[in-house]
Amino acid sequence: MNQKIYRELSTFASGASLLIRYPQEDKVRYYHDSHFVLLDKIEDLKFQRGFVFAPFDLASGLPILHLPENKCVELSLDKIEIDPIDLDNRQFPITDLYRREFATFNHAVASGEFHKLVLAREAKVGLNMTDDQYPQLFFSLVSLMPSACVYMLHIPTKGIWIGASPEILLHSFESGAETMALAGSVSNLNNKSPESFGSKNLHEHEVVVNYIEDVLKCLDIPYHTKPIETVPAGKVCHLRTPFSIDEPLSLEMMARVVARLHPTPAVAGLPKENAMRFIIDNESLQRDYYAGFFGLWNVDNQTSLYVNLRCANIQYSSNDANLVGRIFAGGGIMPSSQCEEEWQETVLKQSVIRQVLKPYLNE
């Protein structure tokens, strides 16, 4: 890595720190402060400018973390050398725990209690790395995911969060805004048409599209949709329906939109509140900030928030002080879902984070 940039990032693993690269940009934003500003609810965002990091369950007691805009410096990507990474093509057999939880979720959907549920899991890996290696981890992920929003966050006492999300929650600018339905996934082996995803994935996607339409109509926000399309993200290909909002949104309205959208059925389920409770009661995973949202809020008259997907949390175990990575992934469960297929989807989704962690695995 360029020595000047290396010195700039030498304090990353101390205090409250963030590296973030937006899709296709040639620069990285670096935030560093002694601590985060803690917010209780989404409505508090309308008074802030800067980076925000929100949990999946806003009622869980975890705060929304905020770093002010004036704590940011920009780094040019063309000055950064990135080491090549070997592919990680290992196979991971399905676990009994996942089989049991899948059966519970699938039965709840098949019975008609839910239109859709999202079952998530984590894969734990032991790591051997030092604080000064974290920035290289981030830049490796940047090189692998040029079309994603890539971030790495250091939270004192909570370790590192790192991810590369393809899913916009809300992008707002002076003339309007946009969001998207991103749901329905298959392996990214070749170019695929939406029709090739099959009825299960198309139905799963339709549930999310209908939900976003209902939210925007309820808030009386004019919008139009673009045709459904496919978008690759690592080893996975998704169905995506873009939504364009045809008028500028006030900060208060942006906060209302985010509060109504989050979490969408793409990461939780439908009906929304009942699905949240079902997940909390029946999923063994503590999602924390996985499937929450992150991004820049009201910076240069723009807001760009992403759903926290393709991510991991790295911190020291409370039991034996070993460094552990928790790699997260989930999949939509529908009545016709098959357990082995859903497991394999999570393996594919975890593969990009496994790939950047591979040089540091403690095996």
Write the CB contacts of 196 (distance below 8 Å, at least 6 apart in sequence).
186
The predicted pLDDT at position 187 comes to 86
Q: Roughly how many angstroms between the first and final C-alpha of the chain, as a whole number?
A: 26
Whether the Cβ atoms of residue 12 and residue 19 lie closer than 8 Å to each other: yes
- Of 299, 318, 310, nearest in space to 355 by CA: 310
Strand partners, 53: 65, 294
Q: Walk me through the domains of the chain, giving residue ranges and CATH numbers.
A: 3-360 (3.60.120.10)
Q: What are the average pLDDT values for consecutive 10-residue runs of the chain, which has 363 residues?
A: 65 89 92 91 90 95 91 77 62 95 98 97 95 91 93 93 97 96 84 84 95 97 96 89 96 96 96 97 97 95 96 86 94 96 95 94 82
Give bridge partners of residue 242 from the DSSP assignment.
Answer: 180
Which among 104, 67, 120, 108 is positioned nearest to 266, based on CA atoms? 120
Among 237, 290, 308, which residue's Cα sits nearest to residue 123? Answer: 290
Q: In angstroms, rounded to a whole number, what is the distance separating the alpha carbons of residues 141 and 150?
A: 7
pLDDT at 87: 57
Helix (H, G, I), strand (E, B) or coil at 45: helix
Q: What is the pLDDT of residue 261?
A: 97
The answer, yes or no, to whether the previous bond of 146 is cis (omega within 30 of 0) is no
pLDDT of amino acid 318? 73
Question: For residue 17, what is the DSSP state?
Answer: E
